[in-house]
Amino acid sequence: MLGNFTYCNPTKLYFGKEALENLHGELKKYGQKVALVYGGGSIKKNGIYDAVTKILQEEGKDVVEIAGVMSNPTIHKLREGVETARKQGTEFILAVGGGSVIDYAKALSVSVHCDEDPWEKYFVKFEEPDCATLPVGTVLTMVGTGSEMNAGSVITYPEKKLKIGHVFADEKIMPRFSILNPVYTMTLPKYQMTAGIYDIFNHICEQYFSGTDDNTSDYLAEGLMRNVIEAGRKAVVNPEDYEARSNLMWDATWALNTLIAKGKTTDWMVHMLGQSVGGCTNTTHGMTLAAVSLPYYKFIMKDGLPKFVRFAKNVWNVDAAGKSDEQTAEEGLAKMKAWMQELGLVLHLKELGADETMLDDLVNGTLILQGGYRILTKEEIRTIFRQAM
């Protein structure tokens, strides 16, 4: 294990079919005025909205609703929510939905009492809040982002064609509690489910494909990846397989609650590429990651060859006997591609509406990070996008 680090994760998790009952006790800990944040209304069709609002009423909370949070929440929607929460005198935010809704709730948390423009402060300058922040709780309805147990928030500025994430340093930005009932995820359309499955997998890859030492984090990552692969296959065949859906929900949480990042560097360039695609096309996050992953990993494979060989053998069960390291690594990526096709994931940017006329915007919207095996140039990013088309 490399370096010195601190690990603290204050989010309390309630898991299982009866998890929502714990909302009663948690609400008693927070203020009277609650902002209920949710998305496009699916929670009203599947009964989750009724169950949550019943508990809010029973606990005597004054509730203002901030509805219509989109899959790529925008800065305009954030500003609208800030105005609503200020008028209400909001003391607590309850996010009911998937990662986008929870990301939005965290951005709202740090913005309600902020005198500066949240886009400039948090998503351009990447500053930390120097104002009071609001506590957030979550009821998770879609798995993938891990936002239920981390301090990350991603916001889009459509006119600028930018989609930017900020992982806040202060642990108080993490949800105070998250309620995880796998049954709540079973009404998702297949497209959204598979996008979430790949989002989980890629979160693990982003932390795995970096570093060279033998460390605990990579062994944990391999176990999580193997479970996502198997549970993903089962969920695609039978979306109501409770065991598969519960495993995926738990995998998603541990994939991005910062545990497996400890003691090593991390990459995150697939996310930078994918978020740029999202900023230009407003398409589903997990699918943007799927479309750029294989071109990126093929591009950097030789730079991190020992880890790609390990990935092939330990995650995909590739038999390396009689093969060169490059052949072994390539077979691992081929098996990954086959699994992605089995799930029905998008493998080309053109399927998301992107084309070569967008290349300049895609390249300019990609932040270059330095934690992986290769620090990309702008021209190399252009090459990867071309190969992803």
Q: Judge whether residue 3 has pLDDT over 90.
A: no
Residue with token string 């489910």? 193
H/E stretch holding 179 reads: strand 177-180
Q: Tell which phi-psi region holds residue 44, choosing left (phi > 0), alpha (psi between -120 and 50) or beta.
A: alpha
Distances (CA, A) of 144 to 45, 64, 157, 248, 277: 21, 27, 22, 8, 18
pLDDT 10s digits, 219-258: 999 999 999 999 999 999 999 999 999 999 999 999 999 9
**Domains contained in the chain, CATH given:** 12-185 (3.40.50.1970), 190-388 (1.20.1090.10)
Q: How far apart are CA 208 and CA 82, in angstroms?
A: 37
Cβ-defined contacts of 126-129 (< 8 Å, 24+):
126/166, 128/168, 128/169, 128/170, 129/168, 129/170, 129/173
Within 10 angstroms of residue 60's Cβ, the number of other Cβ atoms is: 9
Residue with token string 């230009």? 280
Q: Which of 200, 219, 228, 230 is nearest to 260 (CA)?
A: 219
| This prediction's pTM | 0.95
pLDDT 10s digits, 82-100: 999 999 999 999 999 999 9
Q: Judge whether residue 1 has pLDDT over 90.
A: no
Q: Which of 287, 277, 304, 296 is nearest to 376 (CA)?
A: 296
Q: Which of 22, 28, 90 is nearest to 51 (CA)?
A: 22
DSSP state of 368: P
H/E stretch holding 155 reads: strand 152-157
pLDDT value at residue 244: 98
